Amino acid sequence: MERADVAIVGGGPAGSAAARAAAAEGADALVVEKGVPRADREGLGPDSTDAAGMLDYWLEIMDLGADEFPDDVILSELDGARFIGPNRQMTLERTGIESSYENFGFAFHRARFDDWLRERAEAAGANYRVGTSIAAVETDTDDDTHTVELADGEAFEADAVILADGPQRTVTTDTLDQFMPGGRSVSDVIGPNEANHIAYQEHRRIPEELFESGYLKFWWGLMPGHTAYPWVFPNDDSVARVGLTMPIGVDLDEVADREDYDLLSPDDEQVPSGAVYLRRLLEREYPDYDLADFPLVEDRGKRGGTEAYPISSTRPIESPVGADVAVVGGAMGATSAFHEGGDHVAYRTGDIAGRLAGQGRLDRYNREWQAAIGDEVRRNVAFAELVRGWSPDDWDAAFAAGDCMQDLGGYRWREALRTGLTGVKCVGAYKWFKRAYGDAAYVQIREDEYTV
């Protein structure tokens, strides 16, 4: 039977980072990627799971420099982000987190980014098997080997397995269930239908007079659901990704004051489709234009200028490293629906897991990923808890307070006290949630809960 030192499930940012790092340590690394066709990619590659914007400090988390990215990957430089509520808005032109990158960030081409990461991994010596999926990963703890069964009937053995199959977790769930005690399943915590958001986006050409090449735009309080929001991401040549993310399973009958949500219609009997939501967004924001003024760019995205994909909306889990298995990126819940994905944390966790697997030291993985991305995870889960249950009026109040605090110089207690009750409540609640998730309290399954 064919053997590999490290088997990697999935060829996205986490999987390719793992492959490159493992190969750089001299390990025989094999990536298995089922392969998804796209209109803007010549070959098969991983499923896109991000709207593909990179903030300045994310490069620090990835431990990559912007100068390492090929020119055709970066689409446009970003000057800031606009956060728009039903009636109020605020603009950020700095993230407030230390970074060596001089701008707010940049928008990039996700498919080209994936292909570039694969090229780097292959240059380091990693191997890819694209076009088949994994049927099962069986672990023999007696001799510390894993048998990876492919859907095409082939199989190979590996000393270590890195699960990088994204928030759908089609392989991760069954693999980890081997190590769960008492009939428990990791689906109880990270089941895709319970712990994911759905994202949908359209590549549209924006009228030149409306196109803001330097600004991300996010609308909050226009559609129901925790961390549900539409966005516009500028790309290049007046093309933008117009999209949204929303949680699975929102029931309109349980939405309070549904008439307050501008993107809902009184005639809606169920949650509108992504396409309907985006049409309503464009009509709301640009009433003097027709939808035909924003034509689809059909040679981008997966098909006909559109694409849909899942995003993890859960908190991360630790890995059963005693069995030489590591979970990375969206599969482990490290990415976040709150900030629209997370290529940065996916890449970094994959890089750490690959390096340690190549060294035969996966026992260090849980400690090292928490040291590398723990602050980012705490920020995301604290913000997500802060806004849980917010109404459209709450978003307006928060943006008004935030805009005032920014004018006063920051988001600390002294600025909050000068903005009134809303500012004090927001700052206080955020700090409380962040403190509550200290010492890796955001982890949902601990290493010592596995039966290895």
Are residues 323 and 365 both part of a single domain?
Answer: yes
User: Do 224 and 171 share a structural domain?
Assistant: no
C-alpha distance from residue 401 to each of 35, 221, 416 (Å): 46, 16, 8
Q: Are residues 285 and 168 in the same domain?
A: no
Cβ neighbours around 140 below 10 Å, total: 11
Which of 355, 373, 391 delimits the end of a domain? 373
Greatest CA span in the chain, whole angstroms? 69
Same domain (yes/no): 226, 352: no
Number of compact structural domains in the chain: 2
Contact 206, 240 (CB under 8 A): yes
List the beta bridge partners of residue 76: 107
**Residue 320 sits in the same domain as residue 302:** no
Judgement on whether residues 44 and 157 belong to the same structural domain of the protein: yes
Assigned domain for 389 exists: no
Phi first, then psi: what are they for 229, rounded to 5°? -160, 145
User: Is 436 a domain residue?
Assistant: no
| Residue 420 located in a structural domain | no
User: Which runs of E-coded beta strand occur in 60-133?
Assistant: 74-78, 80-84, 89-92, 105-108, 127-130
CA 120 from centroid of its chain's CA atoms: 22
Distances (CA, A) of 283 to 204, 278, 289, 290: 14, 9, 7, 7
Given a contact cutoff of 8 angstroms between Cβ atoms, the answer to whether 179 and 451 are in contact is: yes
Q: Judge if 348 and 207 occupy the same domain.
A: no
- Supply the pLDDT for residue 211: 96
- Residues 179, 146, single domain; the answer is yes
| pLDDT at site 191 | 81
In the three-class reduction of DSSP (H, G, I as helix; E, B as strand; rest coil), residue 193 is classed as: coil
Q: 10-residue block means of pLDDT along the chain (452 residues)?
A: 94 97 98 92 82 89 94 94 93 89 93 95 97 93 89 94 93 96 89 80 96 95 94 94 92 93 96 97 97 96 89 90 96 79 92 98 98 94 89 89 54 50 69 90 95 89
> Of 265, 283, 310, which residue is a domain's last?
310
Q: Write out the residue range of the structural domain in which residue 218 sits.
A: 196-310
β-strand partners of 229:
245
Is 183 within a domain? yes
Same domain, 187 and 206: no
pLDDT of residue 403: 63
Distances from the Cα of 110 to the Cαs of 6, 122, 162, in angstroms? 25, 18, 22
**Is 434 part of any domain?**
no
- CATH of residue 66's domain is 3.50.50.60
Q: What is the pLDDT of residue 416?
A: 46
Quick one: 12 and 140 in the same domain? yes
Task: Give the tokens for residue 395.
Answer: 């978003």
Is residue 172 in a domain?
yes
Q: Residue 46: how many CB atoms within 10 A of its CB?
A: 28
31 and 160 share one domain: yes
Residue 399 lies in a domain: no
Is residue 255 domain-shared with residue 242, that is, in the same domain?
Answer: yes
- Indicate whether 267 belongs to any domain: yes
The per-residue pLDDT for 417 is 44
